[in-house]
Amino acid sequence: MAQGILEEVLMNTALVEDLAEVAKDEALLQGVVMRTRETPNSSELVTYAPLTLFPTSVPKAVFLQALAVQTHYNTLVDRISQDSDFLKEALASTIEVDDFTARLFRIYQQILKEGRSQSIVLGLNRSDYMLDQRDDGTSSLKQIEINTIAASFGGLSSRTPDVHRHVLKVAGRFEESQRILDNNPAAGLAQGIAKAWELYGSERLDFINQRNLYGRLISLSMCFRNIRSIRRRFDDVSRTGSLDQDKRLFIDGLEVAVVYFRNGYMPQNYTTEKSWDVRLMMERSQAVKCPDISTHLAGTKKVQQVLARPGVLEKFFPDQPQAVELIRATFAGLYTLDMGPEGDKTVAMALAEPDRFVLKPQREGGGNNIYGSEICQVLEAVKDSTERTAYILMDKIHPAPVHNYLLRRDAPLKMSTCLSELGVFGAYVRRGEDMVMNECVGHLLRTKSSEHSDGGVAAGVAVLDNPLLI
């Protein structure tokens, strides 16, 4: 965080209060808004999206490292999605005990059996990191996870730089305001969707965005390409969706070129059996899925843990040792909980020093990870059961705490001790064997109070931020 800024304004309560109002007004002006919790399905009432008052300092070298490795992560996810033997082996223990992953995997097996209907692959992902503080005071980039489905906040993070620039100018910090980076992941993500639409082969096909509450900028970008965008829930598609004899997908009578899943990553997204039927129908279709079922599975926590094993990355990059080195440098310690001596060792290690680790289930969306004494409670209950294989264990990352003000609607203005998480967006499009697009398209910085172990912006814990490179 811009610690130097805060040191000068901390004692000036009146200035901080004024800047907070400036930030809120500028957020509304720039479109950094979201629907309210009281009326989540209404566009009549909105409020500013939660954000920090000041940008957060991030070491330039570490930031550039995160950007540089992203295209390799794009390639890695794509290659994993094409390797059925690897996915079957990696997820074998997980699908025995985790029903949600098992249901996704059954759809995957069905598609493998029937054969893929579409050779075009669209990947829009976000790789999330924290900066682990070393003993010598320097920071090391360590990956938290990679999101291969519903990688959100590309729209809002494209708008927040102007908010912090304005706040810094009002505070008299003109030099720092010039160091806020331009950032437009919405345009890059939209470019990936447009490229997939273009390859699908029709100017009049429609793009379905499943309940995209945060992707308005993507939708707007698509409009400029004369691509119609519609939003539907699984239940809606169940009523009005169908496949023709050529497996073309129609919804509301409109042919769909690209399906972007804004949800579908949590069990509660599948409210009925019909929801699962819809997911299978769309996977069977010729429409380009983002993600398709194999790419969805490539983003699971278990796959993340297996990739950290010696020799596994080399399998996917046999002639690219530099790519292997760049990716592996971002790995935190990851440990299996499979049945057997190795998993037993992991259990003993976690029970002996739970504060060193994070216990991670196969879930996305924030708020699912387990920390501290709760790790002992969970593992004591499942340590002798195959149920433990529903989790992986990861080293806990220790970023340096900083101070900032977290602006939220109806929340008191107070200084907080904060931790930040850096996300990097990637977009790729492949047609058959030809990778036609593979790019790093932007970044996202989220900051939360250090009193919260887990949870993102949507969960009401983290807020939007911007990096100030140092």
Q: Known binding site: residues?
A: 126, 145, 147, 210, 301, 360-369, 371, 394-397, 421, 446, 448, 454
Based on the residue annotation, tell me whether 152 is a catalytic residue of this protein: yes
Marked catalytic residue, from 57, 93, 152, 157:
152
What token pair was written down for 188? 């890059």
The span from the CA of 52 to the CA of 330, in Å, is 26
Helix axes 60-81, 84-91, angle to 10 degrees: 100
Marked catalytic residue, from 284, 301, 383, 430:
301
Marked catalytic residue, from 125, 127, 145, 466:
145
Based on the residue annotation, tell me whether 229 is a catalytic residue of this protein: no
Marked catalytic residue, from 31, 116, 117, 365:
365
Residue 355 buriedness (CB in 10 A; 0-12 / 13-18 / 19+): exposed
The span from the CA of 20 to the CA of 26, in Å, is 10
The span from the CA of 338 to the CA of 347, in Å, is 10
Q: What is the dihedral of CA 74, 181, 48, 9, to 10 degrees?
A: 130
- Coil, strand, or helix at residue 308? coil
Binding-site residues for ATP, in ranges, read 145, 301, 360-369, 371, 394-397, 421, 448, 454
Marked catalytic residue, from 195, 211, 430, 446:
446
Based on the residue annotation, tell me whether 147 is a catalytic residue of this protein: yes
Marked catalytic residue, from 165, 360, 383, 388:
360
If you count them, how many residues does the chain have?
Answer: 470
The span from the CA of 43 to the CA of 36, in Å, is 9
Binding-site residues for Mg(2+), in ranges, read 145, 147, 364
Marked catalytic residue, from 74, 81, 93, 147:
147
Marked catalytic residue, from 26, 176, 283, 364:
364
Quick one: the chain helix, strand, coil %, rounded to 5? 40, 25, 35
Cis omega before residue 291 (within 30°)?
yes
Marked catalytic residue, from 123, 125, 126, 188:
126
Close Cβ partners of 340 (under 8 Å, ≥ 6 residues apart): none
- Coil, strand, or helix at residue 450? coil
Based on the residue annotation, tell me whether 126 is a catalytic residue of this protein: yes
Based on the residue annotation, tell me whether 364 is a catalytic residue of this protein: yes
Catalytically annotated residues: 126, 145, 147, 152, 301, 360, 364-365, 446
